[in-house]
Each structure stands twice: as C-alpha cells, then as structure tokens.
Copies of this chain bind each other. A is one copy, B any other.
Amino acid sequence: MYKGSAYRLLESYDVKVGDRIVVKTRDNEYRGILMPRYELADDLHLVIKLRSGYNIGVSIDEIVSITLEAREEEEAAIVGRGEEEERERKRERRDHRVASLEHEYAYEHNTRLAMISTGGTIASRIDYRTGGVKAALTAEELYSIVPELSSIAAIDAEVLMQEYSENLTPMHWSIMAERVGEKMEQGYDGVVIAHGTDTMHYTSSALSFALQNLPVPVVLVGAQRSSDRPSSDAATNLIGASLFAANADTSGVFVAMHNGRSDDKIAVHMGTRVRKNHTSSRDAFKSIDAEPIALVDVDSRRIEMLASNIRNRDKGRRPVVKARFDERVALIKFYPGFDPSIIEHLISKGYRGLVIEGTGLGHVSKRCFNAIRDATASMLVCMTSQCIWGRLRMTVYDTGRDLLSMGVVPLDMLPETALTKVMWVLANSSSMDEARSMLLSNIAMEFK
C-alpha cells in the first residue's frame, strides 16, 4: 500500500509490510514492524509499530538506512499477539474501567494525549465499494493516516462511539463528559475528541458546562472532507488540535478547525462561542462576536494565543464533572406566521425549558404573548436572537420589555449555546430560582 517515493525506498531495501525492521535516521533508530498505510495517504512517510505498541511515522527524507531483521512470516505470531492485546484493551475501555496506563507511554514522550473518537467524517473512512463507513481511529490507523502525530505526543486513541453527529443527543454529551473526566483523572496532558462537524458546536458548548475547573485543554476536532480524500482537512486539523492540546498553556473546552483558506493554519475557538457557519468549506467554524482564542501554524508548530483571559494549564487542578442534561428543553426559531400552539404542545408534554430564537434584539410577535405567559408558569423561557451576531437587548423596544415583564430570561449568547446551557442548568439545579440564577451567571465565557 506504499506508493511513490516511499515505495521506491522500501523496494531498494527489499522490505515489505509486516517485516520487522530497523530504521536509522540522522538522530534516531526505530525498531519495529513496518505497518501498512491507507491508499490515499502521502508517499513521504513510513509507519513503524514500535515494541511499546505505538506507531510512529518516519519521514523518508530523514532515513539513513533500513535493515531487515525478520520477514513477515516469521513475525506472524508476534503480530497476532499484538492484535489480541489490542482487543483486550478495547474490552477494558468498554467496561469503563479506569486503569493506570502509565507504563504504556514509555517511548520518548513526556506529553500524553488521550484521543477519543465519537464518529463523523474525521473518524471514518468511506468504503467506495460498499458505501459503508468504517470507524478508523484506533491508534494504529490514526498514525497510519497522520504519522506526524507521533512527534507531538504519546497518543492513546479509543473509539468511544460511532455516530454521525446529527444522531448525537444530550445522552451522548454525558458519556463524553464522563469519559473526559476519567482521562483527566488519569493525568493526560490534553484530550482530543474527534467528532462529526454537524453538531460539534452543540457538543463543545455542552461539554463547556459539564466539565468545570479543567486542568488541561479538551479540544474537539472534525473534518469537512473525509480522511481518504486528497483534499481532506482531517490530518491538518488533527495535528493542529493535538499541538494545541499538548502544548498550549490553557485549559477549557475548545474547537479546532481550519482558519480561512490557508492550508496550514488552524483556528482554536472557545467551545461556547463557536458555530458551524458553512455546509462544506474547511473554515466552516467561526467564533461569533469574538476572535478565535488561538491560531496554530501546523507547519512551524507555533501557537499564537489571541485571548489572554483564559485560565492557564495546571495539572494539579481537580476537574468537576457535572455530566447530566435535561432533554425536556426545546429550541424554537420564531418566524412570521409562527403558531403559538407549538409552545402549548411543549407545555402539555411537560417541557421544563424553552429557548426562543427571536428576531433582532430579542423579539417575537405579540400573537405569542399568551402562550409565552402560560409557558413561564411551568418552564424557563429564554430569549436569544436568530441574527447570530450582535448583542441581545430586550429593553429597547416595547416588545422586549413586555417579554421581560412576563419573566422571559434574556440569554445574550448563541442560541445553540443557550440550548445546551438550559439543558445543563435544569439537570444541575434544585429549584427554578436556582436555575434562573445559574442561567444568568457566566459559567464558561458563554455570554457575549
């Protein structure tokens, strides 16, 4: 499966995939098994499975010599044993056991990243023959696609779930939050979550509320084009997210994706302030009414911090995980002709929260006033703006003042963030008064 320059190099040394080899570079010597690469990966790296279980990508430019130690056939038993170990590790993860994995990270890195895949384009590989999608984010496959990762940190990758992100629900946010909490307890220097892009901003804001007092960064990352396409942004995004998670002196929940049209600049966004603003472009994710908090240059590996108000990294800090969400919350976008009976339907279904995407500064038609008045008796009714940009200001016009006097809570934040916040607040408060007070507190820099 090697091609081009890499193939010619391997041929000249007469080694094949599966062979045990020793690769010498100017600075190092790597001993391990030559791993296969995906069809559309580049032709500039070899991937070697080291004795530690980790794969490493070696740039062919740096290779001084390759020595064959044993042929594939002789190694079959060893590889087989390796697979059995991998299956065992997966079983452990499924049981949600927290095991000390310290001994796994012997190889050269002091920095350890946990990479959790949840599904989506970045973690999948489309099989063009069957049309099926295969989750591809075992550590081995990851290194095979993005060998540069091995130079950033020791990465422990696991498949937590396999869903297109449009299928994720608040229950999945809870599972992710719990798992990230475990990774924090295990002392990782950062967590990277590979995620479908469709709802990645909902998840990032949900995790921002669920994961507090974080010692290190949690970085969500996706891809707009799948890993096996030549134009894929998967590798660059993963490298940018990993560089930031491993090295940035910061903590919290972030989203890392392409910045502008540039091929090697990754923008890191605050988890509560980001939105998917384009269906297909690589720079679809934008910070709203704010700058990205950092830019990562994947080529030079430089991290440029643009925000100074973010809590620094401190591995001594103990994370607080509040992973529950109340699903009885609806997001409703108002429009001319909107039928207030939809609100009445939610009241009758026992909903506890309603986030309205109003117009302009935070308005809806007076036709909705009765339904909203009814709703405030049994639920938190909150206002945001469908304009997306700009501040919510409900005191300027009669309409806004009328709504405030009915008890509507103005949430000057993205509607998507308001939704996850109301879901989280309702599951983590013991009275409507407490809930209302939490709603109006700035918990994860969500207010504009």
Task: Kindly name the residue among A166, A338, A346 whose own CB sees the greatest number of chain B CB atoms within 10 A.
Answer: A166
**Could you tell me if A361 and B279 are in contact, using CB atoms closer than 8 angstroms?**
yes
CA distance A359 to B366 in the complex (A): 29
Which of B279, B341, B363, B419 contacts A393, CB < 8 Å?
B279
Copies of this chain present in the complex amount to 2
A170 — which chain B residues lie within 8 A by C-beta?
A: 336-337
A333 — which chain B residues lie within 8 A by C-beta?
A: 331-333, 357
Number of chain A residues whose Cβ lies closer than 8 Å to a Cβ of chain B: 66
Report if A150 contacts B (CB, 8 A): no
CA distance A16 to B391 in the complex (A): 44
**Could you tell me if B280 and A361 are in contact, using CB atoms closer than 8 angstroms?**
yes
Residues 266-294 of chain A, each 1 if its beta carbon lies under 8 Å from chain B, else 0: 00000000001111110010000000000
User: Which residues of A, 355-398, contact B by the 8 Å Cβ criterion?
Assistant: 357-367, 385, 387-393, 397-398
Report if A330 contacts B (CB, 8 A): yes
- Write the chain B residue with the least CB distance to A448: B279
CA distance A345 to B389 in the complex (A): 32
**Could you tell me if B337 and A276 are in contact, using CB atoms closer than 8 angstroms?**
no
A284 — which chain B residues lie within 8 A by C-beta?
A: 387, 389-390
**Could you tell me if A167 and B366 are in contact, using CB atoms closer than 8 angstroms?**
yes
A279 — which chain B residues lie within 8 A by C-beta?
A: 360-362, 385, 387, 389-393
Q: Taking beta carbons and an 8 Å cutoff, which residues of A are in contact with B?
A: 131, 133, 164-170, 172-173, 197-199, 202-203, 276-281, 284, 325, 327, 329-339, 341-342, 345-346, 349, 357-367, 385, 387-393, 397-399, 416, 419, 423
